[in-house]
Amino acid sequence: MALVRSDPFRGMDRLLQQLWGGGPGSTLAGPLAMPMDAYRKDGAFVIQMDLPGVQADSIDLTVEENVLTVKAERPAPPSSEDVDAVISERPYGSFTRQVFLGENLDSGNIRAEYDAGVLTLTVPVAEHAKPRRIEVAARPSQQALSA
């Protein structure tokens, strides 16, 4: 398996957000505030995460062993005494998401691009995990030896 899909803490994060008021507009944004897609293409895994309103220089990517951590910051809108918010559904603050990478991915060569609010990470498959062709050597048959 190349990408571990389960996150054992996701359910707990969701529960804590519901219990302690971490809904939309809150600074307690969890994994759902950074939705992602992952797919395999051309010998690599591609991960795309939505980070609208985030500046590229506020995105922090780290890899430790087989865990890729994405941290980003979206500042709260400016507030003043003469502004009365009518609707506040957009999450802001610090966002963190961890992706568990399989052993067959080359975490040392991850490429990251950020465009139009979408962070695209390309994680190549490690050379030892790529399918390879094995040549079959033909042995001379007994008839060819006696002729």
Domain residue spans of the chain: 3-146
Tokens of 34: 């950074």
What is the percent of the chain with per-residue pLDDT over 90, rounded to a whole number?
36
Contact 71, 96 (CB under 8 A): yes
The Cα–Cα gap between 39 and 49 comes to: 12
> Per-residue pLDDT tens for 52-106?
989 999 999 999 988 999 999 998 887 778 888 788 788 888 889 999 998 888 8
Taking the model in full, what pTM does it have?
0.67
Higher-scoring residue by pLDDT: 19, 117? 117
**CATH T-level topology, domain 3-146:** Immunoglobulin-like (2.60.40)
> What is the predicted pLDDT for the residue at 26?
45
The Cα–Cα gap between 121 and 59 comes to: 12
> Per-residue pLDDT tens for 96-107?
999 999 888 888
The Cα–Cα gap between 104 and 96 comes to: 24
By CB neighbour count within 10 A (0-12 exposed, 13-18 middle, 19+ buried), where does 22 fall? buried
Question: Among candidates 114, 34, 99, which has minimal Cα distance to 62?
Answer: 99
The Cα–Cα gap between 34 and 58 comes to: 14
The Cα–Cα gap between 130 and 10 comes to: 31
